[in-house]
Amino acid sequence: MPLTGIEIFKLLPKTNCGECGVPTCLAFAMNLAAGKAELSACPYVSDEAKAQLAEASAPPIRPVTVGVGDTAIKVGGETVMFRHEKRFENPPGLALLISDTMDDAEIDGRLERFKQLQYERVGLNLRPELVAVKSESDDAGKFTAAVSRVTKNSDAGIILMSSKPDILAAGLKECADRKPLIYSATRDNLDSVADLAKEHSCPVAVKAANVDELVELTTKLTEAGINDIVLDSGSRTVRQAFEDQVVIRSSALAKKFRPLGFPTIVFPFEMTDDPMKKALIASMFVAKYAGIIVLSDFQGESLFPLLVERMNIYTDPQRPLVTTQGIYEINNPDENSPVLVTTNFSLTYFIVSGEIESCKVPSYLLVMDTEGLSVMTAWAAGKFVADLIGPFVKKSGIEDKAKHHKLIIPGYAAAESGGLEEELPGWEILVGPRDGAHIPAYLKSWKP
Ligand code: SF4
């Protein structure tokens, strides 16, 4: 049984030093009990107390890693039902299906799409992470050949899919060093698949007929010493699968029910044949609450929205995306190019830099650290005002790059122009457009 807040409190140092980010040990204990804090935040817990608190401090949903090295993906580790309560931790892995009944050309085509379908957005690389190789032939040789083709042509994390332990064992010979997810242990093969998972130290997915059976199977696996588990409740109707996700997440978080405290795997392509519906179902599971989503194929028009949705939902709502402060050179500027200044809220930066880039006017963009606030908010909060912008411009080094002394400020910060003329003697302050969309027209008429 997990410890209560009071039980945890009794094991803490009770000095109320506040170094853990809350003012008292009691508040920290309550957060720990609710899964909203990590024990490592308190530097003064004794080793003895640490051992006793291990259970209480473990995330209610165990994080599970599939793969190794740079391309390994961690799923699970979630601590809240709703993003606004804190944040969602580990985005669900998106997996591409490859069957061992596909010919080489089809497999290569899919792997090529897997590689190509990557997108840069707000400074992040959005891409899928996993390839699920499924045995449909029931032939160990064909399965091994498909797994081998994937390992040679892709750095993706791998899911090995078969209900037959001998076929899974054959696949593992090809890729055990990549620590694939073994899918699946069932009521019929549990012991054999558990042995494979132990032998190769790989995570294992459990497939059950329903949530009750999942509880039974995960209990047996954990008793056998296997803890890296992924859950498939077996439901293949949208409604039931959705309900299962909610039941699993809430049981793990609200009731601290360990047998369901693992990430889940879902298969939208087994719920419909319609490609549009597959994407819609996948989007539902991005939000609630899949750990891995297996898609029958990847196409840009369905994958890209899923990647963007995933990025948005798994962005920390308490921490705005920021761009590094500095001078950004766009379209190869020279000493006569215009100089613009803006804030370091990523969305602001990408909108402004995108407009400058698209109009092809060589320019310098000064990005000032405003703690991730947009222009209007930063200005209203006193973080994008003349007495801060002035020193930033002076220290930025822009005077070594542009010989004119003209600074274009955002229209929303027009009120700062007078103050900036005082802060930056010898500079002419120009008020630019309020809206990023008007930047191209403004820059095209700009003269040094
Ligand atoms: Fe208490 Fe540790 Fe937090 Fe200090 S850091 S207030 S000792 S829980």
Above 60 in pLDDT, residue 395? yes
Q: How far is the CA of 10 from the centre of ligand 1 (A)?
A: 12
Q: How far is the CA of 87 from the centre of ligand 1 (A)?
A: 23
The per-residue pLDDT for 291 is 98
Above 70 in pLDDT, residue 56? no
Q: Would the CB of 12 count as within 6 Å of ligand 1?
A: yes
Q: How far apart are the first and last CA of the chain?
A: 71
Buried b (16+ CB within 10 A) or exposed e, 17-51: eeebebebbbbbbbbbbbbebebeebeebeeebee
The per-residue pLDDT for 55 is 65
The per-residue pLDDT for 430 is 96
223-226 long-range contacts, Cβ below 8 Å, gap at least 24? Answer: 224/191, 224/194, 224/198, 225/198, 226/194, 226/197, 226/198
Give the closest residue (by CA) to ligand 1 atom 3: 20
Q: Would the CB of 448 count as within 6 Å of ligand 1?
A: no
Q: How far is the CA of 28 from the centre of ligand 1 (A)?
A: 7
Nearest-CA neighbor of 202 among 217, 185, 219, 214?
185
Averaged pLDDT of the chain? 93
Could you tell me what percent of the chain has a pLDDT over 70?
99
Ranges of beta strands (E only) in 93-203 are 93-99, 119-121, 124-126, 130-134, 157-161, 181-185
Question: Which of the 8 DSSP states describes residue 368?
Answer: E
Q: Would the CB of 300 count as within 6 Å of ligand 1?
A: no
The per-residue pLDDT for 316 is 86
Confidence of residue 57 (pLDDT cuts 50, 70, 90): low
The per-residue pLDDT for 202 is 97
Confidence of residue 210 (pLDDT cuts 50, 70, 90): very high
| pLDDT tens digits along 166-181 | 999 999 999 999 999 9
| pLDDT tens digits along 359-378 | 999 999 999 999 999 999 99
Q: How far is the CA of 14 from the centre of ligand 1 (A)?
A: 7
| pLDDT tens digits along 314-332 | 988 877 788 889 999 999 9
Q: How far is the CA of 262 from the centre of ligand 1 (A)?
A: 29
Q: Would the CB of 28 count as within 6 Å of ligand 1?
A: yes
Q: Would the CB of 46 count as within 6 Å of ligand 1?
A: no
Give the closest residue (by CA) to ligand 1 atom 4: 17
**Higher model confidence: residue 428 or residue 53?**
428
Q: Would the CB of 20 count as within 6 Å of ligand 1?
A: yes
Q: Would the CB of 19 count as within 6 Å of ligand 1?
A: yes
Q: Would the CB of 271 count as within 6 Å of ligand 1?
A: no
pTM, two decimals, is 0.78
In 3-state terms the chain splits into helix, strand, coil percentages (rounded to 5) of 45, 15, 35
In order, the DSSP letters of 379-398 are HHTTSSSHHHHHHHHHHHTG
